[in-house]
């Protein structure tokens, strides 16, 4: 075992592209190391742009857009 500052050693998320056959539509990403995800064995289909888990498609999680900050004027008198 070695230590140091290698990108693979220190990285929080390490992604690897898997190519199961010659068809590029079957390529997917696997997170070999992911400190921020509790779901194991998630795969991301590059062509379909969807998450897959153990050859079972996982629904996309809809994200809410953040509300823009409203400018506020604060006036204080001394």
Question: How many DSSP H helices and E strands does the chain contain?
Answer: 1, 5
Token code pair at residue 29: 């990403």
**7: burial class by Cβ within 10 Å (0-12, 13-18, 19+)?**
exposed
- Residue of 64 and 16 predicted with greater confidence: 16
- Residue of 68 and 51 predicted with greater confidence: 51
Q: How confident is the model at residue 1 (pLDDT cuts 50, 70, 90)?
A: low
Q: How confident is the model at residue 38 (pLDDT cuts 50, 70, 90)?
A: confident
Give the H/E segment covering residue 24: none
Residue 58 reports pLDDT greater than 70 = no
Cα angle 28, 13, 66 (rounded to 5 degrees) comes to 90
Token code pair at residue 77: 């008198």
CA gap 75, 12 in Å, rounded? 44
pTM higher than 0.85, yes or no?
no
Average pLDDT over residues 9-21: 83
**Average pLDDT, whole number, for the chain?**
75
């Amino acid at each position: 075992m070695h230590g140091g500052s290698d990108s693979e050693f220190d990285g929080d998320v390490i992604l690897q592209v898997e190519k199961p056959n010659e068809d590029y539509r079957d390529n997917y990403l696997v997170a070999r190391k992911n400190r921020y995800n509790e779901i194991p064995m998630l795969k991301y289909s590059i062509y379909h742009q969807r998450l897959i888990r153990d050859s079972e498609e996982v629904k996309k999680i809809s994200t809410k857009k953040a509300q823009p900050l409203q400018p506020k004027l604060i006036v204080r008198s001394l």
